[in-house]
């Protein structure tokens, strides 16, 4: 056996899963495509326990957030890299009514652990329109996904466990004992292909729902706000006087090209939020690997137990990946059950229906 696991794709999902399996003493071989588009490299990497206009707690936040903070901190130390940024998220109130509604919600024990008792509204006022004040969400921040992926790739390259290649499905041989690829044998192959997963012949029957997103890079002279600001869009400071602004959500024209419409949408939102001038210095687009039920796609193929998938983490990839990589690694080794809400077994009927149509 050349290695325990062949991991196809080195986005956030593939990187985090590879590292978790490596931590558990398993050998991995990663196949990364250096020329293909990568959703992880276009992502802002924000982790946020409270989302939406109605201040909804992120699914499984009580488990996800303590786990991700520990995981990424330990990974930074192990790799000698810096990619985790702990920042609060400031949400300016849109009206007195919203202020009253949010303040009432913060008394809820489900919400209260993720909200600061006080917001320093005066720190934001020189740059952000906040006549009604704002709410500060804690336990939040962002992952520099490019720095994360670069560090993980360098680590596995040094160990001889990373191959730069465009994976060809017809070169994979699957049998009852495992898989063979490029002259090597593996116990299992795990596909972590992000939005490209819907082209995978083993898993093209799953209910993907990819979402295109665009972000701007802007320069704001003298901008001293350290936290992320979120009101309809986010403003994420990533360097001196430089911020990332996003994001758009579209389910059509699913390509990797930026558009004028996307730029205009973000600029309208940004002008409504900022009180100071800005200058656009960049724009990029990505496709999020989302699913129709907004839950991950994790598990083993219904007829080929040596073929697995770890995908569908969507807009919350950096939040979901550590917790579910840990769970999946234990599941693969027979130590733990995989959560039903994430297990692709919930969609097996789609596979058998498709197979029946193909007969």
Task: Indicate the pTM of the whole model.
Answer: 0.95
pLDDT at residue 38, rounded to an integer: 64
In three-state secondary structure terms, 129 is coil
Domain covering 3-42+146-208+292-358 in this structure, CATH number: 3.50.50.60
In which band, very low, low, confident or very high, does the pLDDT at 53 lie, cut at 50, 70 and 90? confident
Least confident of 35-44, 136-145, 284-293: 35-44
Q: What is the mean pLDDT of residues 102-114?
A: 92
Q: Is the pLDDT of residue 34 over 80?
A: no
Instruction: For residue 272, give both structure tokens.
Output: 């409504």
Q: Which residue has the tokens 């001293």?
A: 224
pLDDT tens digits, one per residue of 150-199? 999 999 999 999 999 999 999 999 998 999 999 999 999 999 999 999 99
> What length does the chain have?
359
Q: Is the pLDDT of residue 1 over 80?
A: no
Q: Is the pLDDT of residue 42 over 70?
A: no
Q: Which fold has domain 89-137+211-288?
A: D-Amino Acid Oxidase; Chain A, domain 2 (3.30.9)
What are the extents of the domains in the chain? 3-42+146-208+292-358, 89-137+211-288
Nearest-10 Cα torsion for 251, 256, 261, 263: 120
> What phi and psi, each to the nearest 5 degrees, are found at residue 85?
-125, 115
CA distances from 194 to 2, 25, 32, 197 (A): 25, 25, 12, 6
- One-character DSSP codes across 312-342: --GGGHHHHHHHHHHHHHHHHTTSSPPPTTT
C-beta of residue 185 within 8 angstroms of C-beta of residue 4: no
Nearest-10 Cα torsion for 194, 198, 203, 205: 140
């Amino acid at each position: 056996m050349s290695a325990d696991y062949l991991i196809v794709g080195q986005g956030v999902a593939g990187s985090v899963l590879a590292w978790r399996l490596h931590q558990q003493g398993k050998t991995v071989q990663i196949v990364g495509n250096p020329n293909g588009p990568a959703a992880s490299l276009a992502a802002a990497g924000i982790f946020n326990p409270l989302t939406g206009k109605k201040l909804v707690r992120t699914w499984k936040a009580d488990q996800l957030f303590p786990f991700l903070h520990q995981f990424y901190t330990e990974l930074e130390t192990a790799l000698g890299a810096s990619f985790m940024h702990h920042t609060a998220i400031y949400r300016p109130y849109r009206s007195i009514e919203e202020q009253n509604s949010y303040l009432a919600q913060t008394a809820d024990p489900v919400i209260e652990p993720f909200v600061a008792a006080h917001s320093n509204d005066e720190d934001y006022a020189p740059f952000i329109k906040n006549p009604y004040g704002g709410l500060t969400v804690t336990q939040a921040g962002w992952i520099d996904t490019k720095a994360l992926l670069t560090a993980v790739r360098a680590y596995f390259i040094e160990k001889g466990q990373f191959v730069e290649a465009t994976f060809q499905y017809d070169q994979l041989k699957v049998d009852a004992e495992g898989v063979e690829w490029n002259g090597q044998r593996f116990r299992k192959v795990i596909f972590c292909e992000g939005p490209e997963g819907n082209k995978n012949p083993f898993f093209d029957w799953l209910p993907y729902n990819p979402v295109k997103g665009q972000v701007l890079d802007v320069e704001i002279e003298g901008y001293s706000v350290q936290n992320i600001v979120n009101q309809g869009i986010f403003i994420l400071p990533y360097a001196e006087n430089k911020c990332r602004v996003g994001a758009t959500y579209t389910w059509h024209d699913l390509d990797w090209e930026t558009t004028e419409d996307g730029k205009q949408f973000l600029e309208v939102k940004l002008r409504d939020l900022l009180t100071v001038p800005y200058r656009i210095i960049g724009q990029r687009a990505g496709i999020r690997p989302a699913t129709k039920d907004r839950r991950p796609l994790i598990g083993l193929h219904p007829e080929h137990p040596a073929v697995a998938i770890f995908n569908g983490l969507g807009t919350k990839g950096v939040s979901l990946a550590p917790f579910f990589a840990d769970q999946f690694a234990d599941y693969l080794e027979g130590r733990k059950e995989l959560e039903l809400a994430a297990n692709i077994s919930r969609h097996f009927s789609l596979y058998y229906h498709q197979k029946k149509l193909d007969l």
